[in-house]
Structure formats: structure tokens, C-alpha cells
Chain A
Amino acid sequence: MERLLEVQHLKKYFKTPGGMLHAVDDVSFHIEKGKTVGIVGESGCGKSTLGRTLIHLLESTDGKIYFHGEDITHVDKHKLRKLREHMQIIFQDPFSSLNPRMTTVETIEEPLRLTGRYGKEEIRELTRKMMETVGLDERLYHAYPHELDGGRRQRIGIARALILNPEFVVCDEPVSALDVSIQAQILNLMQDLQEERNFTYVFITHDLSVVRHISDEICVMYLGQMIEKCGAKELFENPLHPYTKALLSAIPIPDIHVKRNRIILKGEITSPVEPKPGCRFAARCPYCREECSIPQSLQDMGEGHMVACGRVKEINR
């Protein structure tokens, strides 16, 4: 399998009045072509920042990004324009991701127009096809976003991201603003499109049932760091990191006879501004010991199941 995107020790810090905010801190992973990597974590853990850094909407502070094996960490304007045709993003909020003064057609065809490579007829034809592909009715051609419901708006957002046929798409919580029945429709649409056109997705979400449904591999993030990474099935059957265990125990089970064993985390998420070295989860971890104050790194627990926890063997005995 070809590695489409590889990230090594990626860091993204923001300057704040209180010091450096470590939004993404030393994250490494790779994605194979045509696969989906899910990135989960609670809000504020840096998953959206990671997604935006991958496609150069934010400049990375440190680390390397490779696309098709080529270093794209720092590229000039010209190269970036080329690159962006292969990397797109689907946004979370379908209410703020569409320009309220542009009609459906204007929004969807804009990426094509901006390349300057297509003629008028071609643009019209491709836009029409794309609208059909994502399930937008012809009568919505000239509708403004405020006339449409959330699901249809999100379809427009998807159409805009996919019309250039990008190889790599960052999906930043694309269904979390939609209600459940529409979530399923959109997820199925995205999966169908992936099968059909061999898209590669990075799927960012805090919704664990969604990520299980769509991902091949899952990365769990906590305060800017990756703490566990493995196949989707493996993660749900055999979570190793204490945080992942707690996270998974929070998934509701729709059966009143099943008694859930919830792990309730105590305390607040610690500040990402100038964090102390050592395990960032330590303050809330039920298994925390003194040795947790040294920096943790991902270690392979077999079959590519990576965990960043010094006590993982003791805990999971």
C-alpha cells in the first residue's frame, strides 16, 4: 500500500498572553491511500488544529509533512496552489461554512473556476454532475444557504470539497452538527464516494460511534498529543490507554438491561498553555504514579497497536 500522507513529529503552537499554547504537540502518523484515519478526542484537544495544519490552512511550528513521499512542510505559494487541489476540507458547521450570499451553484463551481482550466460549459456540466452525485436536487441550483436545511447545506460543503477530485480530504466533524438520521445519510454518502473515487479521509470527530463506523484506523488525542493508535476494531475491543478506556466507557448503550461500567474521570482537563513535561493525562488518571511525570512516547504493543502510557503493561494485565 502506498503511503499517501505521512506526518512526523508535527507541532503547532500558538502564542497566547500566558505563554505558548501547545495545540498539536509531536504527533506522528501516516495514512495509506484510500483509507480513513479517524482522529478522536474531546473538544480542545487539538484535533481540528491538526487537520488544518495537514492541509496548510495553518502553518506548522515544527515537524515534517510528506505527501506522496515529498516533503510539503514548507512550500511556496505556487506549489501550495497546486497542492490544495489535491487536499480539501469538509467543515463542521454547515451554517457557517457556506457564504450566505452565494447560491448553491456559485459555491460548488467556485473551486473549478479558480483553477482557470475549465471552460464555461465544462464547469456547468461538472457542477451538475457533482450536485447529482451528492444528492442535491436540480431545483436547488439557485437557492441560497438560508433556504436549505443542515443536511443539504452539508452536501453543498461536500460537493465543494470533492469537485476537484482531491486525493486527500480532511473531514472536520462533518456530521456533528446534523441530527442522527441525516448523519447516517451523509456518512453513507461519504463512504460511497470513497469507494467510487478512492478518496483518502482524515476523519476528525468526538463521536465514537461515528468514527467506528467509518475508520480503518483510529488515533486518540489528548491535549495535543497522540496517546493511542490502532485499527478501529482493535481499539473498541481492546483499548489500552486509561483515557481511551474512560472515553469508550462513555458511549451510551441503547439497552436498559445492560449495566454499564462507566469510568468517571475526575478533575478538569489541564491547560494546554506551557504544559508540564510528562503524561498530560496524569492529573485525571486513576492509575497515576510518580513515574508518570517523565515524558511518554508511543510504544508498540504488538500488531501496530501504539500506546503512550508507561504503565500500560501493569494496567492491562
Chain B
Amino acid sequence: MTKERKTAKKESMFRLTFERLMRNKMAIAGLIFLGIVVLMALAAPVIAPYSYEEQDLFNTLKGPSGEHIFGTDNLGRDIFSRILYGGRNSLIIGFVSVGISAVIGVVLGAVAGYYGGKVDMVIMRLLDVLQSVPAILLAIAIAATMGPGFKNCIIALTVSSVPGFVRMTRASCMNVQGLEYVEAARSINARESRIIFKHILPNAISPIFVHATMSVATAILTSASLSFIGLGVQPPAAEWGAMLAEGRNYIRGYSHIVIFPGLTIMLVVLSLNMLGDGLRDAMDPRLKN
């Protein structure tokens, strides 16, 4: 009886995925840690004990203490506060650049995969050009021509991660569209846009989701490297990569300056990867329970 009731009610694919994700301990751990970091970054003005740019030149390079739990940097700024504010920049750069490039990449990839032939040729060759330049070099080039800064950093990261999404979507769509239900959709007069977005993409999307979570991690790392070489977020604004860069001269004597932002980056990337792994397993409709 209970079983009948269960099948008689529509369960959305989203909820099913979420339920299955919740059974994966690693994924939950990743999700929880990520949630905490995001919340803390959002609530930075409330939580942070100091301003991210407030200098205290009498208390520079102090180790962790009750007053400054992560210590202070070379200008006497509170590292904990800077990590909180820096999280806003780092996370926004990561999620926004991946979000935009995912949308562009999925649409281009689906179109290339579905239509094939010349359309596919043109799209893929253009991407080959983009991809032949290493991501970091491309980002450097964009930052160098358009000037360093938050917005250009996002643009650079977006451009460099689009090809990955296109390739992934294209391959995934080509797998799906040979199946008979796509032919069935054609035979019942479904329009091409409907075939692509209702019949092909939902069944091709799970590897793309996974790729997206992992890409956020990569984007955060790349933005950190960009900031590290001075082409990302500009001081005094805080950003995790920039904090590493600024602290590199003091690593020997005052390692806490780089340990805390470095640790944050590592843990965020790790939790994104665990979440991505969990998502991949949870999104397969055949692996029910």
C-alpha cells in the first residue's frame, strides 16, 4: 500500500537526486563545509571582528591569539577578517565565472553535438584556437590587455573554461541523441529546440554538473594564481590568492600569514571535489537507492 502511494505521486528528478546525495557522507561533508564558508563570507560584515583594510602598525605579524584568532599580517590587518572578506571575492569569482561559462558552453556544445557537420566544425575549430593557449596564459593576456581587476579576472576565467564545457556537453549529447527516444520525439513532431532541451540535455547533463563543481575549484585556484602574480583582485581588497602573494616574503618567520588562507583554499577545493563526486553518483537515474 505504501509503495503504491509512493509511485502514484510524482517525484521530481531534483528531489530524487538530492535524497541520494544526502546518503553520501563525503558529499554531505563537502556540502556542509562549503555552506559554512559561503555563509561566513556573506555575513562577513557581521562576523568579522575587524575591517579587512584596517591597519594596526603596532601589531604587525602577530601570531594567532585571543585578539586575532588567525593572527595579523605585515600591515597589522586581521587575517581572519581578511579571509572572510576575501571569501566573497574568491567565491564570487569561482561561481560566477563557472556559471557563465557553463551556460555558454552547454548551449554551444548542445548545438555542435546536435547539428554536427559544418556548425560543429566551426564551433570546435574556434575552441581549438582558444584551447591552444594555456588557461593561465589566456587569463594573463586578458588581464594584461584589459587591465587587472575583479571583473576582468572573471572574464578571463570564463573564457578559459568555456571550451571544457563545450567539449563535455558535445560528447555527452552525441551519446544520447543516437537513442530511440530522440527519434521518437522527432516522429511526434517535437521541435528541434524541444528535442535538444527536453530530451537530449536533461539526459546528458549529469557529467556537466560534476564538471562544473570541479571547475569552480579550478577557477578559485586560477584566480588565486592570478592574484598571486598581481593580475587579479587589487590591494587593499582581500582575496585568498592575493593574501598568499602578499605573505610570501614572510613565510619563514611568520608562516601563519600564508597557512590560513592556503588552508582555506585547500579545504574549499577539497569540499567542492567531494561534492562533485557525490553529485555524479546521485544524478544517475539508474542507480536508484
Which of A's residues lie within 8 Å of B, judged by CB?
52, 55, 57, 81, 84-85, 87-89, 91-93, 96-101, 103, 110-111, 114-115, 138-144, 146-147, 157, 160, 164
Contacts and interface: CB of A to CB of B under 8 A. Distances in A.
Interface of B: 4, 7-11, 13, 179-181, 183-190, 194, 198-199, 202-203, 285-286, 288
Contact of B187 (A89, A98, A99, A141): A89
A142 B9 contact: yes
Contacts of A93: 180
Nearest to A116: B189
A147 B9 CA distance: 13
Nearest to A88: B187
Contacts of A97: 179-181, 184
Contact of A99 (B4, B7, B11, B181): B181
B7 A143 contact: yes
A57 B181 contact: no
A150 B184 CA distance: 17
Nearest to A114: B189
A110 B10 contact: no
Given A57-B183, A98-B181, A139 B188 contact: no
A114 B190 contact: yes
A92 B180 CA distance: 9
23 contacts: A52-B183, A84-B187, A88-B187, A96-B179, A97-B181, A99-B185, A99-B198, A100-B203, A100-B285, A101-B203, A101-B285, A103-B10, A111-B188, A111-B189, A114-B190, A115-B189, A138-B8, A139-B4, A139-B7, A140-B7, A142-B11, A144-B285, A146-B288
Nearest to A100: B285
Given A84-B188, A115-B189, A139-B8, A91 B183 contact: yes
Interface centre among A81, A138, A142 (most CB of B within 10 A): A142
A114 B288 CA distance: 31
Given A100-B203, A160-B184, A142 B10 contact: yes
B8 A99 contact: no
A96 B7 contact: no
A157 to B, nearest CB: 8
Contacts of B286: 100, 146
A142 B8 contact: yes
A99 B203 contact: yes
Contacts of A96: 179-181
Contacts of A89: 183-184, 187
A99 B8 CA distance: 19
A115 to B, nearest CB: 7
B7 A142 contact: yes
Nearest to B190: A114
Nearest to A98: B181
Given A142-B9, A144-B285, A110 B187 contact: no
Contacts of B9: 142
B8 A110 contact: no
Given A87-B187, A100-B285, 6 more contacts: A57-B187, A84-B188, A100-B203, A101-B13, A114-B190, A142-B9
Contacts of A140: 7
B190 A110 contact: yes
A304 B10 CA distance: 54
Given A85-B189, A89-B184, A91-B183, A99 B10 contact: no
Contacts of B180: 91-93, 96-97
A96 B199 CA distance: 12
Contacts of A103: 10
A119 to B, nearest CB: 18
A52 B10 CA distance: 34
Contacts of A57: 183, 186-187
A141 B11 CA distance: 11
A207 to B, nearest CB: 19
Interface centre among B181, B183, B198, B203 (most CB of A within 10 A): B181
Contacts of A52: 183
B203 A147 contact: no
